[in-house]
Amino acid sequence: MRMNRIVNLNLRAKLILLYFLTIFIPLLVTGQIILSVSGKKIIEQTTSITQESSTQTALNVQDRLGGYVDIVNRLSVDQTLINYLNPDRVYASELESIDAYDLYLKPVTFYDFNYKNPLAKLNILFLNATLLQDHNIFIFADDEARARRDYREAVQAGGKLVWGVSGDEVFVARSVYNIKKRLTAVISMQVPEDSLYALISESKMSDKIAVIADGGGNVISSNDRELVGRSVADRTFFRPDAAAPFEVRDSADGRSYKVIVGKLGGSSSLPDWRILTLVPIDHLIDDERKIRQTGLLVMGLGLVVSCGIFLLALGRITDRVKALVKKMQTVKNGELSLLQDEGAQDEIGALTRNFNGMIENLQRSIYENYEVNLKLKDITIKKQEAELYALQNQIHPHFLFNTLESIRMGLHNQGDEETATIVMNFANLFRHLLHWQGEFIPLREEIDLVRKYLTIQKYRFRERIQYELEIEPGLAEALIPKLTLQPLVENAVKHGAESTRSGRIRVSVRAAGDGTMVAAIVDNGKGIPPEQLARIRRELADPEIKKSGSIGLKNVHDRIHLHFGPEYGVTIDSPAEEGGTLVRVTMPIRSAKDGTEGGNRDVQSSDRG
């Protein structure tokens, strides 16, 4: 089939197709492959560079934190310092305390700390009440000092290093004890968060996001200042145990990132922190996109120029063919005119001369055949229309209605009111079927049609048939496809009620509470054998079956599917033990006013007969 379509293309289309297949598409595919390979290489290089930068940043942070650990550990094992701070040692006078401070306490902290770590702050919180404090480094551990977080956590750790965050500072602290295992002091280093931020900034992160967080997801420092002090444990990019880079879409800002995770804690002395580097995917492939765009632009310009030259040359070749085709189109529309012959002796010139000869022959024969046939055809059509109109007049509905009304009046005059009522219902039923317009009608009209039908059947079978109609008043104006319930009620009468001496038919329509309504038609007949019931269900479920043993059920089911979708339709059930048949029709509630779904759960109204 596709080959026939290609064969039937005009010459210009075939040449253009040949150009695309042999030049345009191969060049485009080759360019795309080259750009794709180079783009992936750029992404790999960018990822590698970013990972190396993240690793270097982690090493810088480790070196900085390791320096603080060295100071705290060195002071914690300095026995001379511990002896001076020993709470069991009593300084008899202020002069003796000042001498201790000048001779050892001040030098041991001043030269090794102040010159090397100007940004950090050292506190030695001692418990010796007789030793003077300088309120700078050496501070007596009174109630206020003991309430500090670094003091409390260091004491709880029992001589082990502890890391934590207090305000906008990161601290590392350790408690020291005298020879009697009595708490002597707490040595604490407080580092401004800005110093860690400076290390992150030095790595030239540009548009990347760097986050230093503890194992629980609490952000210690970040170049995104809004994240500092917050928790990212619930963010999709926080995977503290990730060993390799991974891609993730952050639910908070909706952006996609490549995340590189590096651990700081290489030993027991360093904190169990992570450095997470978030590289936006769109920026990660920015270079690749630029190269791709440039390549596509150059390739596109080349293709445009090539295509333009090709089309220009092709146009000169096919102009005469297009003129011939255009003239053929005018002939197809009934305009028989000759094409100007330029006198060329090539194939196109031969086509032009043959075409003009054909037009001349058509002009000569048009009055001999075409116009005569048109007149005969017009006469035949008018005769058929007149016969159809006469046939329609013979069965005009008013004649039937007038006849039924005459019968009803005759019965009324004879005193047979019951039969007259049945005739009137039949006339109204027939009138409804003829004058219903459109596909949808209010539910109350369908119920009224069912009521008239059951009244006629009750007249036939007398006490052998009883019926009951129930409808929620709020659903009376809901729109349904016309002739939805009447065929199902007719099936219930024919196959159910007629098979028993005391037939009962119940029709109820209720709202289901989820924007749908369910119409149930129940009879107390003999029911349907299991094999036949299974066949009917297969026919309802198979859309390929257009006709089946249950024409009314299938017709209603297919129309509901067509109007509302496959989730709605007809279901049928017939319990073998209980007998009888239950048919349910599920439809959405469509308002008669504006076509929207709705429905009120009012008090039910019923009709029995």
We report the CATH number of the domain holding residue 566 as 3.30.565.10
Going by C-beta distance under 8 Å and a sequence separation of 6 or more, which residues neighbour residue 266? 62
Helix axes 11-19, 286-332, angle to 10 degrees: 170
CA 504 to CA 467: how far, in whole Å?
6
Which pLDDT does position 230 carry in this prediction? 84
Final residue of a structural domain among 147, 169, 194? 194
Q: Are residues 209 and 182 both part of a single domain?
A: no
Q: Are residues 466 and 526 both part of a single domain?
A: yes
Instruction: Report the phi/psi class of residue 244: left, alpha or beta, with left for phi > 0 and alpha for psi in -120 to 50.
Output: beta
Residue 371 lies in a domain: no
Residue 3 lies in a domain: no
Residue 209 lies in a domain: yes
Which pLDDT does position 569 carry in this prediction? 93
Which pLDDT does position 414 carry in this prediction? 63
Residue 456 lies in a domain: yes
- Got the DSSP string for 469-531? EEE-GGGTT-EEESSSSHHHHHHHHHHTGGGSSSEEEEEEEEE-SSSEEEEEEEE-SS---HH
Which pLDDT does position 119 carry in this prediction? 73
Burial of residue 335 (CB within 10 Å: 0-12, 13-18, 19+) is exposed
| DSSP-assigned beta bridge partners for residue 219 | 213
As for how many domains the chain has, the answer is 3
Q: Are residues 258 and 168 both part of a single domain?
A: no
Q: Are residues 92 and 134 both part of a single domain?
A: yes
Pairing mode, if any, of strands 503-511 and 465-471? parallel
Residue 604 lies in a domain: yes
Containing domain of residue 500, as a range? Answer: 439-608
Which pLDDT does position 478 carry in this prediction? 92
- Got the DSSP string for 200-211? HHHT--TT-EEE
Q: Are residues 517 and 593 both part of a single domain?
A: yes
CA 122 to CA 136: how far, in whole Å?
8
Q: How many residues are listed for the chain in this entry? A: 609
Q: Are residues 540 and 600 both part of a single domain?
A: yes
Residue 489 lies in a domain: yes
CA distances from 393 to 9, 28, 401, 402, 592 (A): 52, 70, 14, 14, 35
Q: Are residues 156 and 261 both part of a single domain?
A: no
CATH number of the domain that 132 lies in?
3.30.450
Q: Are residues 489 and 517 both part of a single domain?
A: yes
User: What do you get for the CA distance between the two ends of the chain, in Å?
Assistant: 63
CA 393 to CA 385: how far, in whole Å?
12
Q: Are residues 188 and 266 both part of a single domain?
A: no
Residue 557 lies in a domain: yes
Q: Are residues 212 and 130 both part of a single domain?
A: no
Radius of gyration for the chain, computed over Cα atoms and rounded to the nearest angstrom: 48
CA 572 to CA 575: how far, in whole Å?
10
Which pLDDT does position 388 carry in this prediction? 37
Final residue of a structural domain among 144, 161, 194? 194
Helix axes 193-202, 25-76, angle to 10 degrees: 150
Sites in the chain below the pLDDT cut of 50: 115, 204, 382-396, 398-402, 594-605
Final residue of a structural domain among 130, 160, 194? 194
Which pLDDT does position 554 carry in this prediction? 87
Helix (H, G, I), strand (E, B), or coil: what is residue 258?
Answer: strand
CA 506 to CA 608: how far, in whole Å?
9
Residue 403 lies in a domain: no
Six-digit token string for 37: 């390979």
| DSSP-assigned beta bridge partners for residue 171 | 164, 190
Which pLDDT does position 115 carry in this prediction? 44
CA 491 to CA 233: how far, in whole Å?
65
Q: Are residues 240 and 182 both part of a single domain?
A: no
CATH number of the domain that 252 lies in?
3.30.450.20
Q: Are residues 134 and 278 both part of a single domain?
A: no
Which pLDDT does position 385 carry in this prediction? 42
Which pLDDT does position 584 carry in this prediction? 95
Burial of residue 98 (CB within 10 Å: 0-12, 13-18, 19+) is middle
Instruction: Report whether 607 contacts 468 (CB < 8 A).
Output: yes
178-192 confidence digits (pLDDT tens)? 888 899 999 998 888
Helix (H, G, I), strand (E, B), or coil: what is residue 123?
Answer: strand
Least Cα distance to 571 among 495, 500, 493, 488 occurs for: 488
